[in-house]
């Protein structure tokens, strides 16, 4: 368990946006190493997965592009390699999702521990958050199921439109997409605290959805407004970082050149300029590192903010004496 350090941070009275911000900054300030350490886990995992997939993609696609550039009428495609790349990408991306959600759950637990006057370490947070990785995997599975159902419905509508040679099914599909765009605001308002419910109340994804809907009754607009406010601030900072990394990747693209051989029978070594590919990987890796470093710093604050909001929402729902516990 986390050792006790000082008094709680979040006031035991209804708090507004400014107090949510100040409380979040104070919680972050008390244990920055713990929060950053917990955020580093998915960042390192993401960087490793992305770099491996990027290198794998170069090895797989550059020979194909080179053969096309050499006017090869029948460029060879290594089918097992392509299938392995697609399967690996699917597994890697989903594992990144799981680890990212897991990190949010750990950060939420750490936030409550600091608010209660504790001084949590990474180890104590992981011990107190037993089962959170499994719940994170369940959340990703639920998201995938919902996405498959949604795409299946849209695909069925498009197929029906083609079969009937009529435009009205397509119009329904467009209206459905527009409705989903509007429903995302309802989702944020009523389900924006699901991760905190999963972490702090140790509920599975489905039960957490029900619980979030319950405690945000009558408070949805405030949850939506506060979430949009912090998202706009983070998006502004993220845009600056994105411009920098995009500039770096655009430079790297000019360094990657494929030497077109005089004939289609040239060796693979003569088709690929390895001296140009190495700087490309290095610059892309640096861009990924910069983006990950920014995420490591900003994700803890965003999670602390949402957890502070969750604490206030739950106290309002249960009465001001209600204190989130494990």
Q: Which of 76-80, 149-153, 177-181, 190-194 has the highest mean pLDDT?
A: 190-194
Does the residue 92 lie in any domain?
yes
DSSP conformation letters of 123-182:
HHHHHHTTTHHHHHHHHHHHHHHHHHHHHHHHHHHHHHHHHHT-SHHHHHHHHHHHHHHH
For residue 14, give the DSSP letter.
Answer: -
Q: Supply angle C-alpha 50, 52, 57, rounded to 5.
A: 95
For residue 272, give the DSSP letter.
Answer: B
Rounded CA separation 308/108 (Å): 9
What domain range is 308 assigned to?
3-318
Residue 321 has pLDDT above 60, yes or no: no
Does the residue 311 lie in any domain?
yes
The predicted-structure confidence for 163-207, as pLDDT tens digits, reads as follows 666 666 667 767 777 777 788 888 889 999 999 999 999 999 999
Residue with tokens 């995420």: 295
| Stated pTM of the model | 0.75
**Closest C-alpha to 220, from 196, 178, 185:** 185
Residues 6+ positions from 148 with CB-CB distance below 8 Å? none
Rounded CA separation 316/217 (Å): 11
Does the residue 325 lie in any domain?
no
Residue with tokens 């750490």: 110
Burial 220-229 (b: 16+ CB within 10 A, else e): bebbbebbee
The predicted-structure confidence for 200-230, as pLDDT tens digits, reads as follows 999 999 999 999 999 999 999 999 999 999 9
Please give the pLDDT value at position 294: 83
Rounded CA separation 37/122 (Å): 7
Does the residue 324 lie in any domain?
no
- If one counts the domains in the chain, the total is 1
Please give the pLDDT value at position 1: 47
Mapped onto helix, strand or coil, the DSSP state of residue 65 is helix
Rounded CA separation 247/15 (Å): 41
Mean pLDDT of 256-263: 46
Does the residue 279 lie in any domain?
yes
Token pair for 186: 């309802």
Average model confidence (pLDDT) for the chain?
Answer: 79
CB neighbours of residue 266 within 10 Å? 15
Does the residue 323 lie in any domain?
no
Of 93 and 265, more confident: 93
Residue 74 has pLDDT above 70, yes or no: no
Please give the pLDDT value at position 21: 94
Mean pLDDT of 272-286: 63
Mean pLDDT of 85-89: 80
Q: What is the dihedral of CA 151, 153, 159, 162, to 10 degrees?
A: -110
Beta strand 3-4 pairing with 118-119 = antiparallel
Residue 35 has pLDDT above 80, yes or no: yes
- Phi/psi region, residue 4 (left: phi>0; alpha: psi -120 to 50; beta: rest), is beta
Of 257 and 119, more confident: 119
Does the residue 254 lie in any domain?
yes
Rounded CA separation 289/281 (Å): 12
Rounded CA separation 223/194 (Å): 12
Rounded CA separation 199/307 (Å): 10
């Amino acid at each position: 368990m986390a050792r006790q350090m000082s008094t709680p941070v979040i006031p035991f009275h209804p708090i507004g946006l400014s107090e949510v911000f100040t409380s979040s900054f104070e919680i972050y300030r008390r244990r920055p190493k713990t929060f950053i350490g917990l955020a580093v886990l998915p960042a390192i995992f993401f960087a490793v997965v992305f770099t491996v997939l990027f290198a794998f993609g170069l090895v797989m696609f550059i020979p194909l592009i080179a053969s096309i550039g050499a006017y090869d009428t029948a460029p060879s495609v290594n089918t097992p390699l392509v299938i392995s790349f697609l399967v690996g990408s699917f597994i890697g991306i989903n594992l990144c999702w799981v680890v990212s959600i897991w990190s949010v759950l750990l950060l939420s637990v750490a936030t409550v521990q600091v608010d209660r006057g504790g001084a949590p370490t990474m180890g104590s947070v992981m011990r107190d958050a037993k089962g959170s990785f499994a719940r994170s995997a369940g959340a990703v599975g639920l998201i995938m199921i919902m996405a498959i159902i949604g795409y299946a419905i849209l695909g069925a509508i498009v197929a029906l439109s083609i079969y009937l040679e009529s435009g009205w099914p397509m119009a329904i599909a467009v209206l459905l997409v527009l409705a989903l765009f509007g429903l995302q605001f309802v989702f944020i308002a009523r389900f924006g605290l699901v991760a905190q419910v999963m972490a702090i109340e140790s509920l599975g994804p489905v039960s957490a959805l029900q619980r979030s809907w319950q405690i945000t009754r009558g408070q949805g607009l405030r949850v939506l407004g506060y979430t949009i406010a912090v998202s706009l601030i983070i998006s502004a900072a993220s845009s600056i970082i994105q411009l920098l990394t995009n500039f770096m990747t655009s430079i790297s693209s000019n360094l990657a050149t494929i030497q077109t051989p005089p004939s289609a029978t040239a060796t693979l070594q003569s088709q690929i300029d390895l001296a140009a590919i190495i700087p490309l990987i290095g610059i892309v890796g640096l861009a990924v590192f910069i983006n990950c470093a920014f995420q490591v710093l900003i994700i803890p604050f965003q999670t602390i903010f949402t957890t502070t909001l969750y604490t206030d929402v739950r106290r309002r729902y249960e009465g001001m004496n209600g204190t989130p516990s494990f």
